Structures are given as C-alpha cells and as structure tokens.
Amino acid sequence: MAVNGILGIKLGMTQVFAEDGTAVPCTVLQAGPCVVVQRRTKDKDGYDAVQLGLVEFIKPQRVNKARTGHFKKSNVAPMRYLREVRIEDSKDESKSGDRVLVDNFKIGEWVDVTGVSKGKGFQGGVKRWHFRGGDASHGSMFHRAPGGIGASSFPSRVWKGQHFPGHMGNEQKTVQKLKVVKIDSDENLLLVRGAVPGPSGAYILIRRAKKAK
C-alpha cells in the first residue's frame, strides 16, 4: 500500500537505551489502527489521496446525520478523527474498508509529525516572541514592555507583522524528520526520537518525511 501516513494519539515521552548505552529521548505514539474511509482519485477529485479514520470507540449519538451517511456509504464504523493523506502512486488500489497499520513504517525511517500545540493563553512579548526585556536594576522603569513599535515620521504607522502580546499556542505545528526508533505491532506503538506537538492524549498525523534523504 502506497499510503504514506497514519493517524494516531500522542501517549507521552520515555527514553530508550541504544546499544552503546546512550539514552535516547523518545515520544510514544499510538499509530493506528486506521481504516480507509474514502478514496480520492485524480479523475474525479483532481488528486490522489485517501481519507483515513482512526479506529476508536465513539457513541452513535455523537455522530451527526451527515457523517453517519458518509460512514454508511463507505460501509465502515463511525470514527471521531478523520484526515486526508496523499498517495504517491496513482496506480495504488486502496479502497474503502482497507486497514492501515503501523507495519507500514520501518525502524530507522524518517517521519513528519503534525499536531496542535499546547495552548498558553494570552502571553506577553517576552514569552511569546522571546524579547530580551529591559534592565532589572534599581531605577529602571522598562522591564517586560514591548518597546518601540514604529517611528512617527516614517512610516507613521505600525509595521505589518509587528510582534505584540497575544494568544499563544493552540496552533497546528509540524515537526520534521523524526527518526523511528522502535515499533510495537502488537500494541500499535511507534516510538520516534524527539518531541512532537501537543499534550499527551492529543491526535496527531504521522507521514513519511518529505525532506529525508
């Protein structure tokens, strides 16, 4: 199967010891099992992709009529988390009902992980944009303020994209080129080196790395 991605849940972080005794920090991901809910074709939709659904229990009353009909048409059980994943090979014969498992990946492979980062609420410029801040010495009246935001003569306005205090986090982020350290097919677990966006229990999308050599 040429589907190069899988849906999952971030379970938390741990460490794995390499053969030389080095401790490798890893994120534990529950990767799948997933089911193909819909197939997109270039002739009909303009591109080749599959709509994947993460297999997990969901109460029927939690699914609206539109999604109920969508799942019924594909003859699959209702699912909470759906995402599209592109297909590299247009001749791939993936169809609704096919299973996508963690076995699609291999140890040593590079992956990109997409998730929603932790929400930090309203934050100032020092935390949000890593501003240095002013002196903390006696007599200083400039500590964590943003400072100048634009000259008066030119441009006589605030520059577009000026860094200000505001809402921080809760945005879709992608961490690229994480190495697969370990795979547990029985428990649908995938361990990658490094950290991925979001808190424990968050939904994530795992794809083969675009920039891997």
End-to-end alpha-carbon separation of the chain, Å? 21
For residues 165-188, give the mean pLDDT: 92
Quick one: tokens of 114?
């997409």
For residues 48-59, give the mean pLDDT: 86
Looking at domain 5-119+171-208, which CATH architecture does it have? Beta Barrel (2.40)
Task: Place 2 in a pLDDT band, splitting at 50, 70 and 90.
Answer: low
Task: Place 127 in a pLDDT band, splitting at 50, 70 and 90.
Answer: very high
Asked whether the predicted pLDDT for residue 93 surpasses 60, the reply is: yes
The set of residues, in sequence order, having a beta carbon less than 8 Å from that of 42 and lying 6+ positions away, is 48, 90
User: What are the domain boundaries of the chain?
Assistant: 5-119+171-208, 121-168
Q: Do 3 and 84 meet the contact criterion of CB atoms below 8 Å apart?
A: no
Asked whether the predicted pLDDT for residue 102 surpasses 70, the reply is: yes
Q: Is 175 helix (H, G, I), strand (E, B) or coil?
A: strand
For residues 79-98, give the mean pLDDT: 79
Asked whether the predicted pLDDT for residue 204 surpasses 90, the reply is: yes
CA distances from 159 to 97, 122, 145 (A): 52, 21, 18
Give the CB-side neighbour count of residue 206, counting CA atoms within 13 A: 34
Q: What is the pLDDT of residue 89?
A: 67
